Structure 1
Amino acid sequence: MELTFRWYGPNEEKITLQQIRQIPGCCGIVGTLFDIPAGEVWPRGRIHQLRQMVEDAGLTLKVIESVNVSDDIKIGTPLRDRHIEAYKETIRNLAAEGVEVICYNFMPVFDWVKSDLDYKLPDGSSTLAFVRKNIPDDPQQIIDTVADGSAGFTLPGWEPERLSQVRALLDAYKDVDEDRLRENLVYFLKAIIPTCEECGVKMAIHPDDPPYSMFGLPRIIKNREDLDWLCNAVDSPCNGITLCCGSIAEEPGNDIYSILAEFTRRGRIHFVHMRNIKYISPEEPGNKDFYEAPHPSECGSLDMVEMMRALHDNGFTGYMRPDHGRMIWGETGRPGYGLYDRALGIAYINGVWEALEKAGCKAGE
């Protein structure tokens, strides 16, 4: 298992690589080229420049997050084959620079939905939250909320130039139901997985966030059954999962622990977003509200040790990053992606993993 840290690049970050390098146990960067639109090729020269920058700081660049799949591919327009060829070329370029895992998603329009980007906790920190009554019926209002609360940063999946045309985008999806979206995902994967197998790159799909429909849009990576379908639909070790613990657990009916164990055993979890969430008023029937909690188990509703144990005991050898963090100690920046709380998250995760490793060694003596 290798611990990593998501970093958006020198033009998009207040956090420096030198600061990340000082986090004990953090070995790698999860990188991106934020400015390249979906459907276009990531040039090898740009990737090399990013890798060199990361390696000069004493870190590795083995995972790339947000090689975004274009809406033309998701919808299935006549442009999709051209965009797929561009995606394949990007895979080749990333592989040539040593990248092993690509995290992506297949969510229509919105990559994630939260009602609050500055949800205040009793200790004075702030975090991301999902409170259903605060989600407006008009998707334009949630776009405006995100824009107003983003602290001037572009947020992944909420690129202003794309969402400025949200009405037209929603209209383009009007005939895309879950079956059609699944067909389009399989079409995409059957086209790119042979390239991945040739290059030694693993695709790792991120679950839907939240794992149920919003604004009438289909969701197809929501639960254990969907993950099983994905693995069987294109049966290759290169067709795998970014197991975002928080996203799967946003549906309280999902057994996050058994999902982690099963798909680790099956060799399909290539990347893990490890985080905790705290259910708000779970005693209310059907209430799925939550906020993103600090990593330790006692701070949220998930047992972090049991999640880590499910990975460890079933042979997880992939990449992991602390997913999201509060704003603490007066820090300001991109919501969910501050330095301090994610650094604390890595320290906690690393400690749990070390304890599991040493307990396993003693048990085998």
Structure 2
Amino acid sequence: MEETWRWFGPKDAVQLPQIRQTGARGIVTSLHDIPYGEVWSIAAIEERKAIIAADASLGLEWRVVESLPIHERIKLNEGDQTALFDNYRTSMRNLAACGVKTICYNFMPVLDWTRTTLAHPLPGGGTALRFDIVEFAAFDCYMLERPGAEAEFSEETLVAARNWAKAASESDKAKLLANIMAGLPGAYDRYDIPGLRRMLDRYRGVTREILRENLARFLREIIPLADELGMRFAIHPDDPPRSLMGLPRIVSGEDDIAFVLGAIDSVANGLTLCSGSLGAGPKNDVPGIARRFAHRIHFAHLRNVAKDPNGSFMEADHLDGDTDMVALVSVLLEEQERRRLSGAANWRIPMRPDHGHELLDDIGKPTHPGYPVIGRLKGLAELRGVMRAVSAAKGWPLS
């Protein structure tokens, strides 16, 4: 598979020469300084490409957009969205004109990935991202005070959440809010409690079925153009794959993915196979999901999680956790070999290591949560070993 690396742009604490030292050559990035709904101009795209390619000795290339964000009004089907769709399609045309044709995106309402702890201690002093159901229930029920929230948690969780809320200082509560907001990428607005309540009010009455139809409408608006431009769209699963704060989640498991890919049956309408997001769902067989939808996987995020019975989970080492990573990588490599033999021009599946642990001298550095260098490099090295071993055993080209 093609090894790529997520880079948050010139302000990222991780610089391009460091990325080259990992062995990855493909860059996964986005124009985070451009607000949702505005056009990505050719000039802005070429400027980012030029930064990536400035040192030719590094051999780096922008391979995947993560992401071209979808405005909240499109997710809500709120008001006249004509200009939003026109701008989105213009950005698509501009990206294609600049040779960047794979787009990872998500349709998660309000928040992207959500964790309650950004530095859960590991043996030896490293840290990991963690979603703790008790802390999230305390936030939802006793900080946000969302009507009806208590009905969505077990009594055992609620008792622990009430105890947490009673014992928590204002600083503890502020930190929990900041941690939950940390999944919003780039420079976009974070919500305070009143702001979050206002956003949730906008979603009142938006059911799972309505959100599904709004996604289908988005696909009907953009996939025909993606086909025309030779682009590949790859939806990212919900993270975590469960309802949060009463908001419906519609890309959480196998049936959801079947709905999305069936909404428009086109190779341009594809999947980002995120093993961590799907792996946090107790019912999800991640290698099985990958096998069923292999022909529509355009991008892969490879990471692992360890789940607790109560719904909590933590980022595990890439080859540990609850997902059989060797089996998953084998499925992806088998699909890649099928594409190679079919004569496909771009037969390699781009992948990146995701959500590494904070280790060694990365601890305390101002990297984006989940995106330190050393933890991701460790994961990439482990995954590279799996890919080499599986490819050699099968007689497939090393990739």
Same fold, TM-score > 0.5, yes or no: yes
Structure-1 residue corresponding to 2:355:
324
The answer for unaligned runs of 5 or more in structure 1 is none
Give the distance between the partners of 1:43 and 1:147, measured in 2 at CA.
34
Which residue matches 1:271?
299
Counterparts of 2:237 and 2:104, CA distance in 1? 10
Q: Aligned partners of 1:84 and 1:194: how far apart in 2?
A: 13
TM-score by length of 2: 0.83
Partner of 2:239: 209
3-state SS in 1 of match to 2:28 = strand
CA displacement at 1:173 relative to structure 2: 0.6
User: Relative to structure 1, is the Cα distance of residues 44 and 257 closer, same or farther in structure 2, using a 3 angstrom cutoff?
Assistant: same
Quote the residue 1:18 is aligned against: 17
Q: Is the 8 A contact 1:117 1:146 kept in 2?
A: no
Paired residues in the alignment total: 350
Provide Cα deviations, 1:37-67, integer angstroms capped at 9, x if missing partner. Answer: 1111111111101111112342111201021
> 1:37 and 2:71 equivalent?
no
**Equivalent of 2:210 in 161, 180, 194:** 180
Matched, 1:249 2:270: no
Q: 1:292 aligned to 2:315?
A: yes
What letter matches 2:208 in structure 1? E
Return the offset for 1:155: 4.7
Normalised to the residue count of structure 1, the TM-score between the two structures is 0.90
1:310 pairs, out of 324, 328, 331, with 331
Tell me which protein shows more helix as a share of its residues: 2
Work out the CA distance in 2 between the residues paired with 1:200 and 1:220. Answer: 26
Match of 1:8, as an amino acid? F
Shift of 1:224: 0.4
Task: Tell me which amino acid in the other structure corresponds to 2:10.
Answer: P
SS at match of 2:315: strand
CA contact (8 A) 1:193 1:238 kept: yes
Residues 234-293 of structure 1: CA deviation (Å, up to 9, x unaligned): 1110001111100001111111110011111xx21101100011223x4xxxx2211101
Q: CA deviation at 1:159?
A: 5.3
- Report the residue type matching 2:5 in the other structure: F
2: CA distance between counterparts of 1:324 and 1:144?
23
1:347 offset after TM fit, Å? 1.2
Instruction: State the one-letter code of the partner of 2:355.
Output: H
Could you tell me how far 1:315 is from its partner in structure 2? 2.9
Partner SS, residue 72 of structure 1 = helix
Flag the 1:144–1:268 CA change in 2: closer, same or farther, 3 A: farther
The answer to whether the 8 A contact 1:73-1:79 is kept is no
* Contact 1:63–1:100, Cα closer than 8 Å, also in 2: yes
Deviations 1:161-203 (A, max 9, x none): 2535322211111021111111111111101111111111111
Partner of 2:162 in structure 1? none
Question: Where does 1:200-239 land on structure 2 (aligned, <5 Å)?
Answer: 200-239=230-269
Q: Is the 8 A contact 2:219 2:263 kept in 1?
A: no
Structure 2: runs of 5+ lacking an equivalent: 146-169, 338-347
Pairing 1:301–2:322 present: yes
Find the structure with the greater CA-based Rg: 2
SS in 2 for 1:61: strand
d(CA) in 1 for partners of 2:254, 2:187: 30
Are 2:304 and 2:323, in contact at CA under 8 Å, matched by a contact in 1? yes
- Partner residue, 1:106: 107
**In the aligned structure 2, how far is the partner of 1:156 from the partner of 1:351?**
32
Q: Which residue of 2 aligns with 1:258?
A: 288
Identity %: 40
Q: State the alpha-carbon separation in 2 of the partners of residues 144 and 67 from structure 1.
A: 30
2:152 paired residue number: none
Moved over 4 A (4+): 139-144, 146-150, 157-160
- Distance in 2, matches of 1:144 and 1:199, equals 45
The answer to whether the 8 A contact 1:7-1:30 is kept is yes
